[in-house]
Structure 1
Amino acid sequence: MKKYLGISGLLATWLVAFPAAAAEISPDTLVDNTAQEVLSIVRQDKELRAGNMAKILDLVEAKVLPHFNFTRMTRLAMGKNWNKATPQQQEELVKEFRTLLVRTYSNALSTYSDYKIKVEPVRSKAEDTDTTVKTKVMQDSGQPVDIDYSMEKTGDGWKVYDVTVAGVSLVTNYRSTFNSQVREGGVEKLLKTLGDKNRALAANDKKAAGELKTVATQ
């Protein structure tokens, strides 16, 4: 699970700086253009490469969130348990899941700046509203990693609702964990687990920031 979450951080490498006219661009061109731009940004920014988490989080919060359909992702990850949650719980689940994913991407962003991303052309019709963009992350050593983005066309442009890394769907992978939590203690148990995880990640970020500051002043 930990390894999978780490590799899923590769999503961040192309979702950090969407162009303003994203709605007018085909999904594969959007992915390709953004990947190259974001990799260039990270490579040229010493603070990003050094792991300045505050700066990375600001970047991801500003540029990633508008291009994910977190509500659909959360609903898919919950599966049949989505309808067991009250409207308020559903809203809280989306918020906590979004926070978890954003921190996962942010933690991995600086790690993959030296990788290359190859995007395969999408063969679809102009009227299509759902597609999969297939990419390969080219590593210096080892086999390429396949990452596929399930995307839907909305009035606000193309949005991601699932990601498949090396054949493993993100929402399907989380579904087993979510189902287990709901079985043990209902939706409230899942909310508590997600909240605890996010608070732990935030505390680690704060600790890392303090260590970076100490090193910088020495």
Structure 2
Amino acid sequence: MPAVAIDRRYLLMVGAGATIAAAIRPGTACAAVDPAVVAPIQGLYDSLLRIMRAGTRTPFSQRFDMLAPAVDRALDLATILQVSVGPMWNSLSADQHAALFAAFRRYSISSYVSSFNTFTGQRFVIEPDVRSGGANQIILQTKIIPASGETHELDYVMRQTGPNWKAVDVLADGAISRVATQRSDFRSFLMHGGGDALLASLQRKAADLASG
């Protein structure tokens, strides 16, 4: 999906979490944002603008490599994957863990590259205040504003990992949890084919995105 046509389906697809929408209280008080919380998401948005300006004239693999470091810094993909898989994660082998992580990382980055493939004046805005997400988590509020001016809210549930902050969930429209949606998607593969079925699905989706 080209970036010029960002809609609800895209907001549910990207990005990527122990917090689900029902656990977030809309009335939670806001506080001034710590620059350390903003930095990884600002870096992600800066990199997205770079690949959008590079456009489809730049090979997909090159744009993937341009974006990958920013995604790794901004998103705690290991936690997102484990929570999305759920209890079955503990029944999978170490080799399956490694293979699933590699495939999930490729799929996640490829989703961004495929979606943000054209620059037509879009802007990313990070709000100056944050909300508490509970359990030592902070919700960083952002907006994606196309040239048309139609605003889409995309919030990041941030958690401190060592000295760094990373997103463990992404909330479309400020409430719809990416992790909860993804957990539902993964469940059918895991129930009918286990880790191998989920691995094959992630690999296929990543390949489809890369091939257009």
TM-score (norm 1): 0.70
SS in 2 for 1:133: strand
SS in 1 for 2:96: helix
- Equivalent of 1:193, from 183, 201, 204? 201
For the pair 1:111 / 2:118, whether they are aligned, the reply is yes
SS in 2 for 1:201: helix
| Identical-residue share of aligned pairs (%) | 22
- Equivalent of 2:179, from 141, 147, 171? 171
Give the CA RMSD over aligned residues.
3.1
2:189 and 2:43 mapped to 1: Cα distance?
39
Q: Which residue of 2 aligns with 1:6?
A: 10
SS in 2 for 1:28: helix
2:97 and 2:160 mapped to 1: Cα distance?
23
The code of the aligned residue for 2:95 comes to Q
Say which one has the larger Rg.
1
SS in 2 for 1:61: helix
2:143 and 2:87 mapped to 1: Cα distance?
32
The code of the aligned residue for 2:182 comes to Y
CA contact (8 A) 1:149 1:163 kept: yes
The code of the aligned residue for 2:127 comes to E
2:164 and 2:122 mapped to 1: Cα distance?
27
Q: Which residue of 2 aligns with 1:63?
A: 70
Return the offset for 1:168: 2.1
The code of the aligned residue for 2:89 comes to W
Deviations 1:35-72 (A, max 9, x none): 4x4466457x4x33645313211101233223321110
- Equivalent of 1:159, from 161, 166, 187? 166
The code of the aligned residue for 2:187 comes to N
SS in 2 for 1:121: strand
Pair 186,144 (structure 1): closer, same or farther in 2 beyond 3 Å: same
Matches within 5 A, 1:139-150: 139-141=146-148, 143-150=150-157
Pair 124,197 (structure 1): closer, same or farther in 2 beyond 3 Å: closer
Larger mean Cα displacement after TM superposition, 62-71 or 98-107: 62-71
**Which 5+ residue runs of structure 1 have no aligned equivalent?**
12-23, 206-218
- Equivalent of 1:120, from 118, 127, 147? 127
Select the structure with the greater relative contact order (CA < 8 A; seq sep ≥ 6). Answer: 2
Deviations 1:62-99 (A, max 9, x none): 33223321110001111222223222212221111111
CA contact (8 A) 2:44 2:70 kept: no
Q: Which residue of 1 aligns with 2:107?
A: 100
Q: Which residue of 2 aligns with 1:25?
A: 35
Return the offset for 1:201: 3.1
Q: Which residue of 2 aligns with 1:216?
A: none
**Which 5+ residue runs of structure 2 have no aligned equivalent?**
1-6, 16-33
Pair 98,73 (structure 1): closer, same or farther in 2 beyond 3 Å: same
Normalized per residue, which structure has more helix?
1
Paired residue total: 186
Normalized per residue, which structure has more strand?
2
